[in-house]
Structure 1
Amino acid sequence: MELTLQDKPDESSWREALALYRAAFPAEGRKPEAILARMFEKRLGVLAAGSEEGVMKAMAVCGVLAEPKLLLIDYLAVRAADRGRGAGTAFVSMIADWAKAQGLDGLLIEAEAEDTPENEARIRFWEKCGFARTAYVHQYIWVPEPYRAMVRYFEPGRFPAPDGMKLFKYISEFHRRSFR
């Protein structure tokens, strides 16, 4: 798989990424596409695409957080036909390599925290990719489900134990800037 990153996605890449995004996330569980487009216009977002033989197999909408120096993976989707074959793990690994080369300290995600088999499977995927769960569970006022921050530091020994409440301050600020 080949990784490409674009802070202003070209039309073809964006069309392919949106198809994966729509297939992976129900309408009520995703940001409106106009908000995503505005994130790229404001240079808040980066589109990561994993492709093989000209076909996009995975996509992620990410944002670079200046403080702390982390790459927030806001949405990540893998083509249904490629799930369970290591494509997602390989894709996250390539994103991590890129983020590390940019001088970032790690990766950050927010995962659904409700105790369901689907959410537990997602959390196990992220743990397989090297992420650690935080204890704090965050409840947004505008979405019904609770979330938990998960972080992957490239040099874990350099950082104290992850503080989920503090990480959600950074995540929430990223979302706030995305929506205004």
Structure 2
Amino acid sequence: MREYRLVMDTNSEDFDRAMVIYRSSFPENERLPEKKLAEKITNQEFQLLVSYEESKVSFMAILCPLKETNFSLLGYVAVAENLRGKGIGEDFLKYLGKELKEKDEFLLLEVENPASGDNQATKQRRLNFYQRLGAKILDKVRFLLPNLWNETPPEMLLMIYPFYPLNYIKRELVEKLINKVYEDFYEQYQHPNIELLCKNIPDIVNLI
């Protein structure tokens, strides 16, 4: 069984290897600066989890517990380029889903919307991956990443994983989660996107 390790030393080889995977997996306009990641991990505001193949870091994930909720944002999850397609990411989500279920906690996922922009087939495959594992989309909830690198941020879907006990969540919780993602993960306080995104959320948000 694959093992996962929490990395807290940002001067370690494990952290450096995780950052190599991070840089190769996400476009610049979706990445937080590595210096900021290191600071947040050191302060225990973020959690960096890794796993190994042949004693080398092959997988990395960054989680951000969202304050005053029982949700954590899955900020980034990635597998080393030469090991993709071997089920490593799926193993991790199944492991994490089991851990969260025991604590009555949940993941909030940001997934690119296949209906928006280019590379729609790739985006749809990613969405299908999460749905196959049981993640649910927050229906009729729009989400945008903050503009990190002066480029147009992609349209996103928000998803909940693992199985949520209800088939809906209330507007107030969705608003809180959006605020906490912007504040706790991106350090964007009173960002204009927050008001924009919260404006048209239904009173009851179905999980589909």
Shorter-chain-normalised TM-score: which range? 0.7 to 0.9
Match of 1:43 in 2: 44
User: What's the secondary structure of 1:171's corresponding residue?
Assistant: helix
Query: What is the percent sequence identity of the aligned residues?
Result: 23
Match of 2:202 in 1: none
Q: Does 1:11 align with 2:12?
A: yes
Q: CA deviation at 1:149?
A: 0.9
Q: 1:37 to 1:125 in 2, by over 3 A?
A: same
Q: CA deviation at 1:140?
A: 4.2
Paired amino acid for 1:56: V
Match of 1:137 in 2: 142
Q: CA deviation at 1:160?
A: 5.4
Q: Is contact 1:6-1:46 (8 Å) kept?
A: yes
Q: 1:178 to 1:78 in 2, by over 3 A?
A: farther
User: What's the secondary structure of 1:147's corresponding residue?
Assistant: strand
Structure 1 unaligned regions, length at least 5: none
Spell out the pairing of 1:15-30 with structure 2 (5 A cutoff): 15-30=16-31
Cα distance in 2 between the residues matched to 1:163 and 1:118: 31
**Regions of 4+ moved over 6 Å:** none
Match of 2:106 in 1: 106
Cα distance in 2 between the residues matched to 1:6 and 1:146: 31
Q: 1:132 to 1:7 in 2, by over 3 A?
A: farther
Cα distance in 2 between the residues matched to 1:152 and 1:98: 12
Paired amino acid for 2:180: Y
CA RMSD of aligned residues (A): 2.4
Paired amino acid for 1:14: F
Match of 1:147 in 2: 156
Normalising by structure 2, report the TM-score: 0.74
Q: CA deviation at 1:105?
A: 1.4
Match of 1:78 in 2: 79
Q: CA deviation at 1:163?
A: 5.5
Cα distance in 2 between the residues matched to 1:162 and 1:78: 31
Q: CA deviation at 1:18?
A: 0.4
Number of aligned positions between the proteins? 176
Q: Is contact 2:29-2:153 (8 Å) kept?
A: no
Cα distance in 2 between the residues matched to 1:68 and 1:150: 16
Normalising by structure 1, report the TM-score: 0.84
User: Which protein has the larger Cα radius of gyration, Structure 1 or Structure 2?
Assistant: 2
Q: CA deviation at 1:93?
A: 1.6
Q: CA deviation at 1:97?
A: 3.1
Deviations 1:24-67 (CA, angstroms, capped at 9, x unpaired): 11222211111111211322100011213312221101112243
